[in-house]
A and B are shown apart, each in its own frame.
Chain A
Amino acid sequence: MKILNCPLNGPRNIQEFVWGGEVTEMPDPNRCTVAEWGDYVFLENNTRGVIREWWCHAATNYWFIAERDTSTDEILKTYPAGEVFTVRTDFEVPEEDSKG
């Protein structure tokens, strides 16, 4: 069984983790085209080589990012999500929901 190094909990059997998909950037949902949105929601890049993935340590529900080479299945490094997502995300409002 592979070992995955959790930035919070240290190296653990990969059985302790849940895969969360590739790290992708959400296009601006209010401005992007239908095709761009469909690509984001439905298509996987299926890259051969090093990709960034979301992984969650199940016992602590701690999400972090791992860099993995899809051709060798080697995990190159792991780090907290905050190293990639450094600023608050806001969605631009056409106008606030009257009820909201």
Chain B
Amino acid sequence: MQATELLRRSFCYRRLDALGASYAEVNGGALAQDFGDTKAEAKAARTLGLAELSVLPRTGFKGEGTPEWLSGQGVALPEQSNWARRQDGGGLAARLAPNELLILDSESGEGKLVAKLNGAWAGESRPPETPRGFPVPRQDSHAWFLVSGEKAAAMFAKLCAVDLRPHKFEDLQIAQTSVARLSAVVIRNDLGGTLAYHLLFDSASATYFWDVLIDAMEEFSGRPVGAAAVKSLIG
């Protein structure tokens, strides 16, 4: 299938097309499954791989009452800001501030958590009696890349002034900082024991950021990998 067959598109699908991506439909968009060499990609995902996951579901909520409302919806919240927590059934709740959460669905896009939360919020009458926060359109405000592999931290050291090395930046820790002069949310989320970082950043800068990462990865023989390679990490 072609990326343009669907209404929702990756913010840099032309880069993926140029690499010969094979797509599968997920969440109303085309997710790059592989770039023709699944073996090499699975290997790269363990050393240094870049995956474009922007069509996968995500959402956000912020404002007074957000943590309480999300708890009520069964979301397991991280206690502190700048930490994330894995959800039963897949997905991640990332606390960006005391009253601000970013919800990422599972890397396979099948967690249904995002759809459930968005539906629940929209389904309630407004204005509510007690504050419950407001949704923020993270699906579109932010693009979503995943950088994985043992060389990931060394690669980030070329782009980001925050020390993201695994012994200094724990699994599920979050850094909201500047990466290659772009504001980004960096979430460490190891997949099946492989070091991995989610990157969420201005969706309009996706092409710029893709090119920057590809350039920075070259030194470590990093390469683009498809969603299949990411899945192979989880096992």
Any A–B CB pair closer than 8 Å: yes
Binding site for B on A (CB under 8 A): 8-10, 12-13, 15-16, 57-60, 62
Question: Measured between alpha carbons, how far is A9 from B161 in the docked complex, in Å?
Answer: 13
Question: Measured between alpha carbons, how far is A21 from B104 in the docked complex, in Å?
Answer: 37
Residue of B nearest to A7 (CB): B81
Could you show 5 A-B contacts with beta carbons less than 8 Å apart? Answer: A8-B82, A9-B82, A58-B183, A59-B177, A60-B96
Residue of B nearest to A9 (CB): B176
Q: Chain A residues near B175 (CB, 8 Å)?
A: 9
Interface of A is mostly: mixed
At the interface, yes or no: B50 with Cβ under 8 Å from chain A?
no
Q: How many B residues touch A, CB cutoff 8 Å?
A: 12
Contact across chains for A59 and B161 when beta carbons are under 8 A apart = no
Q: Chain A residues near B96 (CB, 8 Å)?
A: 60
Contact across chains for B97 and A60 when beta carbons are under 8 A apart = yes
Contact across chains for B178 and A59 when beta carbons are under 8 A apart = yes
At the interface, yes or no: B184 with Cβ under 8 Å from chain A?
yes
Assuming the contacts A59-B183, A60-B97, A62-B97, asked whether A16 and B82 have C-beta atoms less than 8 A apart, the reply is no
| New A-B pairs, 6, CB < 8 Å, besides A9-B175, A58-B178 | A9-B177, A12-B162, A12-B177, A59-B183, A60-B176, A62-B97
Assuming the contacts A8-B97, A59-B178, A60-B176, asked whether A13 and B81 have C-beta atoms less than 8 A apart, the reply is no
Question: Measured between alpha carbons, how far is A12 from B183 in the docked complex, in Å?
Answer: 14
Question: Measured between alpha carbons, how far is A53 from B177 in the docked complex, in Å?
Answer: 21
Question: Measured between alpha carbons, how far is A62 from B81 in the docked complex, in Å?
Answer: 13
Question: Measured between alpha carbons, how far is A16 from B178 in the docked complex, in Å?
Answer: 7
Question: Measured between alpha carbons, how far is A16 from B175 in the docked complex, in Å?
Answer: 12
Contact across chains for A13 and B176 when beta carbons are under 8 A apart = no
Within residues 154 to 170 of chain B, which ones have a CB less than 8 A from any CB in chain A? 161-162
Residue of A nearest to B96 (CB): A60
Q: Chain A residues near B184 (CB, 8 Å)?
A: 59
In the assembled complex, the CB of A30 is this many whole angstroms from the nearest CB of chain B, namely 29
Contact across chains for A15 and B161 when beta carbons are under 8 A apart = yes
The 3 closest A-B CB pairs, nearest first, are A59-B183, A60-B176, A59-B176
Interface string of B86-120 (1 = CB under 8 A from A): 00000000001100000000000000000000000
Question: Measured between alpha carbons, how far is A60 from B176 in the docked complex, in Å?
Answer: 7
In the assembled complex, the CB of A38 is this many whole angstroms from the nearest CB of chain B, namely 36
Q: Chain B residues near A8 (CB, 8 Å)?
A: 81-82, 97
Interface string of B134-152 (1 = CB under 8 A from A): 0000000000000000000
